[in-house]
Amino acid sequence: MNLLKSQYDLIKYTREQLFSLCEQLDHDDYVKEIEGFGWGSVRNLHAHVAECYQSWLGKFGLKKNITPVNPENVRNVNDMREVFNEIDTLVCSFIDEYEGEYEYKLTGRVPWQEDHEELSVLWLFTHTTTHEFHHKGQIVSMARQLGYIPSDTDLLTPTDMKNLLNRHKCMN
C-alpha cells in the first residue's frame, strides 16, 4: 500500500464534498468577489488551490513546464472539476516518481526568493494538501457568507470510507 496515495484518495473524497457544495451556488455567487477573502471569489480561490499543486508538485517537484490555471478560463464548477482531474494525474505522477523516497530533498527556485530552496518530497505533498484544506475552509465560509448552508465537507464515516474504496482511486 502506498500511504500517500491512500491519503490523497481521502483528500479527493473530501474535495468531492466541496464540489457538491459549489454546485449548489448560483453561478453569479461562484464568481462573485467577496470582501475580506484573498483571491476574491470561490472560483478564484479554488483555482489558486490547483495552482499550488501545479507550482509545488509539478514545477518544483517534477520540473515540468506547466502553465498555471487561469481562473478566467474556468466558467463553472464542471470546468473546475476538469482542472482537478488534471491535478489528480499530476499528484499521482509525483507520488509515483518519488515512491518510498519521502525524505528525498529536491532543490529549486521559489519565485519570491533569490536563493534556491531544498524541500523534501513529504514536505511538498504535505504543504499542497494542507494548503487545500485551509482554503477549503475559506470556501465554505464564503458560501455561508453568501447565504448558503453547507453540509459537512470534512467528516468521513465508515460507510463513506467503504464507498471511497470503490471509486476515485489514485492507486492503480
- 27 a known binding residue? no
Q: Is 117 helix (H, G, I), strand (E, B) or coil?
A: strand
- 116 a known binding residue? no
Alpha-carbon distances, residue 100 vs 2, 14, 114, 115, 156 (angstroms):
8, 25, 31, 28, 27
- 48 a known binding residue? yes
Rounded Cα gap, residues 17 and 164, in angstroms: 12
* Residue 22 near residue 140 (C-beta atoms within 8 A): no
The alpha carbon of residue 1 and the mean position of all alpha carbons in its chain are separated, in whole angstroms, by 22
Q: Indicate the annotated binding residues for a divalent metal cation.
A: 48, 131, 135
Q: Indicate the annotated binding residues.
A: 48, 131, 135
